[in-house]
Each structure stands twice: as C-alpha cells, then as structure tokens.
C-alpha cells in the first residue's frame, strides 16, 4: 500500500495517457506530446515556485496575479527598454515576493493570508495600469521575445526554458544549504530554529523565489500569446497548486521533490489537453482539477495520525 501511494502519481500519468489514447488513438503522437509539453512549461515554472513555499510548510496564493502583472509589465516595457524589460518584469515580481515575505515573516501573518493579500494587490495593480484591457506585443517588438517563441532542434524554446529551470531548482533543493534548510523548516520548524538556522531569511528567499518564478512564467505566457493581460494567468492557481500536491508533495511541508512536481504538472497538462481531445466542456476542467486535488491530498497524508485539522 505504501508503495502504491508512493508511485501513484507516475502510475496515474501513464494510466491517463493510455485511457485517452484508447479513446482517441490520434492522441498518442509526437506532435501531441509537444503540445502537452508546451502547455506544461508555463505551469511547471509556476508550480516550481509554489513547490518551494509548500516545502516550507506554507502556501503561495499570489502567483497567478504576479504572473499576470509581469506579463503586462513586459508588454508595456518592451517598446522602450527592449531586452531589459525581462529583468524589469522579474525584478517587480521578486519585489512582490519580498512584500509577501514581509507580511508573512516579519509581521508574522499566516502565509495563506499574506500571499492572498499580495496577490490581490498585484491583481488590482495590473488592472489599474492597463485599464483592464490587454496589451498587444507589436510585430516590430516580436524579435525581443523570439528566444522564447522559436524552436531549436525541433523543440519549442519555452520547453527548454522550463527544463533549465527544472535543473536549476532540482540542484537548489537537493544540493544547496537553502534547499536543505527549506526541507527541514517544513518538516520541523522549531528544530530548525533551535539548530541555529535563519528561518526568517530562508522563508524570505523561498517567497521571493516563488514570485520570481511566477514572473518568469508570466513572461513565457505573454510571449506565447504575444500579449500582456491582467487576466492572462487566471485559472492557473488551482492547477499549479494541484500539480504540486498531485505529484506527492505533502501540504504540511518537508516531504516532496521537484521531479514529483514535474509529474504532477504533466498529469494536469495531459488531463487538460486530453479533455479537449475527448471533447469535455472546457469549463468543466476546474471541476476535474478540484476533484484530483482532494484525492491527492487525501492520499498523500495519513490522516489517522492527525487529531486536529484547521
């Protein structure tokens, strides 16, 4: 039973692929897989950020608003600043991470509320600066974003971007002090604090990392759509959190891995693309994600040992 739960994410990924493949055989094609990977790329970048915060034992609800805001900022800055606008967008994203960090760590507000508030600020800020309309990236500015939209070696560059982020974050969580500290804070914050770890600093880092990765996912998304919009990344939050949890990272923190998050993201993307192949109403997607999330959370944590659920 223990092993079934451990390997259930990867089992369900292949089961899904087969199930959809039997229903519509044209689903199992290289071109479909590239579509899935493209779809997964942005979601994965966002999920990776949330993964670090969940490993800490917190949650980051601000990512979708930060991603939208950064897409807007990128679209606004491109005519004037060119390549620098990517840095500006990431910088502003990380500032929002810093703000959530200040709320959560210094003011000691639970991460749920702190990031919800930051997300609200980011969302309304992007609505205000755009007057609630989307901003097109013009044809003459397209060359700036070509490094994301083009393909190299038959693989879309956005997949390569998210793959390099995968490598980077895998290294970060497994082989650096920061990664080790994040894991130990999630597994036992009091012990980590008593062992002389700077818990506050690491929480700040995790929230800033999460927001920066959200900004990058906003950049990739807006390059793909060649537009920035204050509602661009809406409907991303639930799948992003669901991906982390479905992959088997415990919501209580301390247990999980980046590979599992990747599998979680792939499950979500296969579901998303698969549902359009089968012909399920696109509005029913969130319903499926919601159900998946509940099942995954119920499976990953042994609830018999938890007396109180808040």
Q: Least distance to another protein from the beta carbon of 259, Å? A: 16
Of 106 and 146, nearer to another protein (C-beta) is 106
How many residues in total does the chain contain? 310
DSSP per residue, the chain: -HHHHHHHHHHHHHHHHHHHHHH-GGGSSHHHHHHHHHHHHHHHHHHHHHHHHHHTT-----HHHHHHHHHHHHHHHHHHHTTHHHHHHHHHHHHHHHHHHIIIIIS---HHHHHHHHHHHHHHHHHHHHTT--EEPPGGGGGGGHHHHSEETTEEHHHHHHHHHHHHHHHHHHHSHHHHHHHHHHH-HHHHHHTT--HHHHHHHHHHHHHHHHHHHHHHHHHHHTEE-TTTTTT-HHHHHHHHHHTT--TTSS---HHHHHHHHHHHHHHHHHHHHHT--GGGHHHHHHHHHHHHHHHHS-GGG-----
Q: Least distance to another protein from the beta carbon of 12, Å? A: 24
Binding mask 120-159 for another protein (x = CB under 8 A): ----------------------------------------
Choose the stretch contacting another protein; rule: CB under 8 A; options: 3-11, 111-119, 169-177, 275-283: 169-177
Q: Least distance to another protein from the beta carbon of 195, Å? A: 5
Nearest partner of 257 among 226, 300, 208, judged by Cα = 300
Of 76 and 199, nearer to another protein (C-beta) is 199
Binding mask 180-199 for another protein (x = CB under 8 A): x--xx--xx-xxxxxxxxx-
Binding mask 228-267 for another protein (x = CB under 8 A): --------------------------xx------------
Q: Least distance to another protein from the beta carbon of 188, Å? A: 4
Of 35 and 172, nearer to another protein (C-beta) is 172
C-alpha torsion 218→220→225→227, nearest 10? 50
Q: Least distance to another protein from the beta carbon of 198, Å? A: 5
Of 16 and 180, nearer to another protein (C-beta) is 180
Choose the stretch contacting another protein; rule: CB under 8 A; options: 118-126, 173-181, 202-210, 286-294: 173-181
Q: Least distance to another protein from the beta carbon of 256, Å? A: 12
Of 30 and 308, nearer to another protein (C-beta) is 308
Q: Report the residue from 29, 152, 176, 234 that binds another protein according to the rule CB under 8 A.
A: 176
Residues within window 17-36 making contact with another protein, judged by CB under 8 A: none
Q: Least distance to another protein from the beta carbon of 168, Å? A: 13
175 binds another protein (CB under 8 A): yes
Nearest partner of 66 among 103, 105, 99, judged by Cα = 99
Q: Least distance to another protein from the beta carbon of 171, Å? A: 8
By CB neighbour count within 10 A (0-12 exposed, 13-18 middle, 19+ buried), where does 167 fall? exposed
Kindly list the residues in this chain that would bind another protein in the complex (CB under 8 A). 174-177, 180, 183-184, 187-188, 190-198, 254-255
């Amino acid at each position: 039973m223990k092993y079934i739960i451990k390997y259930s994410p990867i089992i369900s990924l292949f089961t899904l692929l087969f199930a959809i493949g039997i229903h519509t055989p044209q689903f199992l094609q290289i071109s479909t897989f590239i579509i899935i990977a493209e779809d997964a790329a942005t979601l994965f970048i966002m999920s990776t950020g949330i993964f670090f915060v969940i490993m800490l034992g917190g949650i980051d609800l601000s990512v979708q608003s930060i991603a939208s805001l950064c897409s807007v900022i990128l679209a606004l800055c491109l005519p004037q600043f060119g390549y620098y606008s990517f840095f500006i967008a990431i910088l502003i994203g990380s500032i929002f991470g810093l703000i959530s960090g200040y709320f959560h760590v210094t003011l000691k507000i639970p991460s749920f509320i702190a990031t919800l508030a930051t997300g609200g600020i980011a969302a309304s800020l992007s609505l205000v600066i755009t007057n609630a309309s989307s901003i097109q990236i013009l044809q003459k500015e397209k060359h700036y974003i070509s490094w994301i939209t083009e393909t190299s070696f038959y693989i879309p560059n956005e997949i390569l971007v998210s793959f390099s982020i995968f490598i980077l974050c895998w290294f970060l969580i497994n082989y650096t002090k920061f990664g080790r500290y994040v894991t130990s804070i999630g597994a036992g914050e009091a012990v980590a604090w008593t062992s002389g770890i700077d818990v506050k600093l690491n929480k700040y880092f995790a929230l800033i990392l999460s927001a920066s990765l959200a900004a990058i996912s906003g950049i990739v998304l807006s390059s793909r759509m060649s537009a920035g919009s204050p509602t661009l990344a809406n409907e991303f939050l639930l799948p992003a959190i669901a991906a982390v949890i479905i992959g088997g990272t415990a919501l209580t923190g301390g247990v999980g891995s980046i590979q599992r998050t990747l599998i979680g993201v792939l499950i979500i993307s296969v579901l998303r693309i698969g549902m359009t192949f089968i012909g399920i109403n696109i509005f029913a997607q969130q319903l499926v994600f919601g159900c998946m999330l509940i099942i995954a959370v119920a499976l990953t944590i042994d609830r018999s040992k938890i007396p109180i659920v808040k």
